[in-house]
Structure 1
Amino acid sequence: MSRAKTTQTPPPRATIRDVASAAKTGKTSVSRYLNGEQHLLSDALKERIERAIALLDYQPSQMARSLKSGQTRLIGLIIADITNPYSVEVMRGVEAACRQQGLTLLVCNTNNELNQEKHYLQLLSSYRVDGIVINAVGMREDAISALQQSPVPMVLIDRKVNNFSCDVIGLNNVDATRTVTQHLLQQGFEAILFLSEPMTINTRLVRLHTFLQEMQHQPHKFAAQGEVELSDSQGLETLLRDFADRYADKRRAVISVNGALTLVIARAMRRIGMVWGKDIGLLGFDDLEWAELAGVGITTLKQPTYDMGYAALEQLVTRIQGSNEPIQEHAFPGELIVRGSTTLA
C-alpha cells in the first residue's frame, strides 16, 4: 500500500492583534511603536512590545503601511546599460543613499531600448514607487512624452533630455572635454579624432561640440570625428585606418566618448597593429579598472560616478518631500588621469 504524503501547513502569520495580546496592550500602542512614535510609550511598554514582536516573528505588512501613509519607501532606478561599469558605480551610489534614507531600491535595465524604458516607467508607476532616478535612453519625441506623462518625481542622471523639465545630476561635460582636448594639444598632438557611439544622447553631443569648438582655436591642428556602433568592428577599424593614413605625417590621437567605446577601440587597435603610446595617442572618458593595465596605460577622464548616484537620490528625496525649488542641474567636475597612451616620446 502506498502511503499518502502529508504536507505541513505553515503557521499563520502573526498579526498586530497577536502582538498586542502578547504584550498585554492595545493595537494603538503597537502601531505607535511600529510607526516611529515610541516616545509616546513608556520604557516598560516598549520592552514588552519588542519582546512580543521577536517571540511571534511579527513582520509588518509593507503594503498596508504604504496604503496608510501614502508612501511605499520604494525607489526606482532605470539604467540604460547595466553591463557598463559607469552604470554599476552609479547604482552603488544610489543604493548607498537609499540605505542611508531607509529606502528600498528597484533596479531596471533597459539595455538601451526605448520601448523597455517606457515599459519600466509604467511598471514602476504601477508599483507606486515614491520616485525614480533615470539614466535615459535617448531624445526621441516619444521618449520625452513618456517621461512627461509620468506622475512620479524624477531625477535624471548623466543624460539630459531636451524639453523635459527635471533635475539633472551629471558630469560638467564642457569643462571635462576642454580639459582632455587641451591635454592632447599640450602633448603635441596635431590631429585628433573624436570617436562616439551614435549621437542620440545629449551627453555625447555636448562633448563633441565642445571638442570642435576647442579645435577651432587651433588653426594648425586637425580635428576629425566619427560615429560607430559598438558591434561594428569592421567599421571602427576602417575609421582608425583612414584617420591614420590621412594624417600619416602628424602626431595623432583618438578621444573616446565613453568607457564602453574605449574598450572596443583598444581591441580594434590591437587587431590592426596600432599601438597606443607609440603609434597613436588614446584618451577615453570614464576611468575603468583595466585602463592602467593596458599596455603603457590609457589616459582617462575620471567621473565621480558613485558620488553622482548618491547625489541623485538625495535630490530625489527633496522632491518626494515636496520641495518646489527651481530645477537643479548639478554638474560634477572630472579628473584627468594621465598615463602612457598620451605621452608619446
Structure 2
Amino acid sequence: MSSNRATLKKVADTLGLSVNTVSRALAGKDAVKESTRQLIEKTAADMGYVPNSMARSLVLGKAMTIGLVITNPSNPFYARLISSVEEQCRNHGYSLLLFATEENPANERTAVQTLYRWGVDGAIVVPSQQSVESWELLKRYDIPMVLINRYLDGFDCDFVGVDYEQGAYDATRQLLQTNAERRVFLLEEDLEISTVRSRISGYVRAMTEAGQGPERHLVQRVPTNRLDSSTLPWDPAAAYRAANDLMDQFVPGTAVLVGNDHFALGIYKALVEAGRRIPEDIEVFGYGNHPFSAYMQPPLSTMALPAESIGSSAVNLLMQRIDRTASSDEVSHIITPAEMILRESTRHLNGAVISAGATR
C-alpha cells in the first residue's frame, strides 16, 4: 500500500484533532460541532481520503456486503432486479456480491460456500428449486436470507415475490370477456418452478370459473433451454415450433396466453406464416412486459412485473433482519401484483382493438 495514501491519522494530524473526532465526523456521528465537521470533510476531500472498507468492517463488526444469488442474469426481469438491489444496497452503505447459478444445484452449493467464506451480512436468493439443501446450509450458517421471485415449499424463510397466479388469472379473464366459451391456450415453459406452477393455477382457476371443465384446460408445455444454456432463458423458436404443431387447433376466435413475452415472438411468427391475423383471428397475451413487447406488430398485451419494487422490498426486509429490527420468529411474505398492459394484440369486450400503450 502506498505511504502517500491519505489516512484518518494524517487527516487528524493535519487538523490537530484526534483520530476519534475525525472518524466520528466523517461517519456522520453526533457530538461533533457542525463547523468542525465541515472543516474535517473539506480537509479529507482535499487530501483525497477514501475510507478503508476492511477497517470499517472490523469496527462495525460487519462485512458490509450482501450476496445476491440469481438463476440467469440475461433474463430481463433479473437484469432490472439486479439494478434495483444494487442501488438499494448502495443506499444502505453495502456492496453487492453477485452469483448466477444457471439453475444448477452444484452452482448453488458453490455460491453458499463462497457467501460463507466472504462472511456476507445477508443474502437475497432466487433458488433453482431443485433442492433446499444449500439454503438449509445457509440458514445453519446463521446468515439472514430473503427469497425472491420463487419460493421453496416447506422452507421457513422471508419471501418477496410477484402474484403470478393472479396475473395469469386476470389475463385469462381478459381473454374470456368477449366469449366465456372460447378456446384459450396457455403455452408455458416445461420447467418445474413456482412461477410456472402459479401461472398455470391462475389460468385454470379463470377457465373453471368460466364454466370450462378440465378437458378445456389447454395447457401446452414448451421445452426449456435453461438447463443447457446460459443465454436468454426462453427460446422463441421453441414456442414457434409448438405453435406450428397446434396450428390446426388455432381456429378463428382462439386466444393464446404465453408464460413470457419471448414465447410470444415465436407465436407471432407462426401465426403470420399461417396467414392468421392478430387479434382479428387469434388474440395473443404475453407475460413480463419485456422492452420489445411494445414494438411487436401488433404491440403485445402483457403483464408487467415490478422488478424494482421487488428488489427494494427485499433489501429493506433483509436490512431489518441484519439490524434485528424485524421479529426474529415471524416470517414475512411480501407479494406484489403484476400490472396488466393492454395493447393491440387483444380486444375490448365490444370487439374494438385496444389502443397501444393503454393500461388497466
TM-score, with structure 1 as normaliser: 0.85
Aligned length: 335
- The residue that corresponds to 1:324 in the other structure is 327
- The residue that corresponds to 1:239 in the other structure is 242
Distance 2:117 2:50 in 1: 24
- The residue that corresponds to 1:209 in the other structure is 201
Comparing 308-317 with 51-60, greater Cα deviation is found at 51-60
Distance 2:267 2:145 in 1: 34
Q: CA RMSD in A?
A: 2.8
2:327 pairs with 1:335: no
* Displacement of 1:30: 2.3
Distance 1:334 1:159 in 2: 15
Task: Write out aligned runs for 1:269-308 (5 A).
Answer: 269-270=271-272, 274-308=276-310
Task: Write out aligned runs for 1:155-166 (5 A).
Answer: 155-166=146-157
* Displacement of 1:111: 3.0
* Displacement of 1:203: 1.4
Distance 1:237 1:59 in 2: 54
Distance 2:84 2:220 in 1: 32
Distance 1:286 1:106 in 2: 26
2:222 pairs with 1:228: yes
**Superposed CA offset, 1:289-345 (max 9, x none):** 221221121110122221121111111111111122521111112221122222277
Structure 1: 5+ residue stretches without partners: 1-8
Residue 108 and residue 262 in structure 1: after superposition, are their counterparts in 2 closer, same or farther (change >3 A)? farther
Letter in 1 for 2:208: Q
Distance 1:23 1:179 in 2: 65
* Displacement of 1:116: 2.4
* Displacement of 1:274: 4.9
* Displacement of 1:148: 4.2
Distance 2:40 2:63 in 1: 24
- The residue that corresponds to 2:357 in the other structure is none
Comparing 276-285 with 40-49, greater Cα deviation is found at 40-49
Task: Write out aligned runs for 1:14-163 (5 A).
Answer: 14-37=6-29, 39-43=30-34, 45-163=36-154
Residue 190 and residue 32 in structure 1: after superposition, are their counterparts in 2 closer, same or farther (change >3 A)? same
Comparing 177-186 with 84-93, greater Cα deviation is found at 84-93
Letter in 2 for 1:244: M
Higher Cα radius of gyration:
1
Contact 2:240/2:269 (<8 A) preserved: no
Distance 1:218 1:42 in 2: 69
Contact 1:79/1:135 (<8 A) preserved: yes
Distance 2:135 2:2 in 1: 48
Letter in 1 for 2:9: R
Distance 2:8 2:238 in 1: 65
Contact 1:108/1:120 (<8 A) preserved: yes
Distance 2:157 2:9 in 1: 44
SS of 1:285 mapped into structure 2: coil
Contact 2:125/2:148 (<8 A) preserved: yes
SS of 2:335 mapped into structure 1: strand
Comparing 140-149 with 151-160, greater Cα deviation is found at 140-149
Comparing 159-168 with 251-260, greater Cα deviation is found at 251-260
Identity %: 27
Distance 1:217 1:26 in 2: 73
Distance 1:199 1:93 in 2: 26
Contact 1:148/1:164 (<8 A) preserved: no
* Displacement of 1:272: 5.7
Comparing 134-143 with 305-314, greater Cα deviation is found at 134-143
Distance 1:13 1:270 in 2: 65
Contact 2:165/2:202 (<8 A) preserved: yes
Contact 1:190/1:250 (<8 A) preserved: no
Contact 2:132/2:155 (<8 A) preserved: no
* Displacement of 1:283: 0.8
Distance 1:233 1:330 in 2: 32
Residue 111 and residue 20 in structure 1: after superposition, are their counterparts in 2 closer, same or farther (change >3 A)? same
Residue 28 and residue 228 in structure 1: after superposition, are their counterparts in 2 closer, same or farther (change >3 A)? same
Residue 104 and residue 233 in structure 1: after superposition, are their counterparts in 2 closer, same or farther (change >3 A)? closer
- The residue that corresponds to 1:3 in the other structure is none
SS of 1:282 mapped into structure 2: strand
Contact 2:190/2:221 (<8 A) preserved: yes
**Runs of 4+ residues over 6 Å off in structure 1:** none
* Displacement of 1:202: 0.8
Structure 2: 5+ residue stretches without partners: 226-234, 353-360
Distance 2:115 2:160 in 1: 21
SS of 2:82 mapped into structure 1: helix
Distance 2:141 2:218 in 1: 40
Distance 1:45 1:237 in 2: 68
- The residue that corresponds to 1:198 in the other structure is 190
* Displacement of 1:269: 4.5
Distance 2:185 2:34 in 1: 70
Task: Write out aligned runs for 1:250-261 (5 A).
Answer: 251-261=253-263
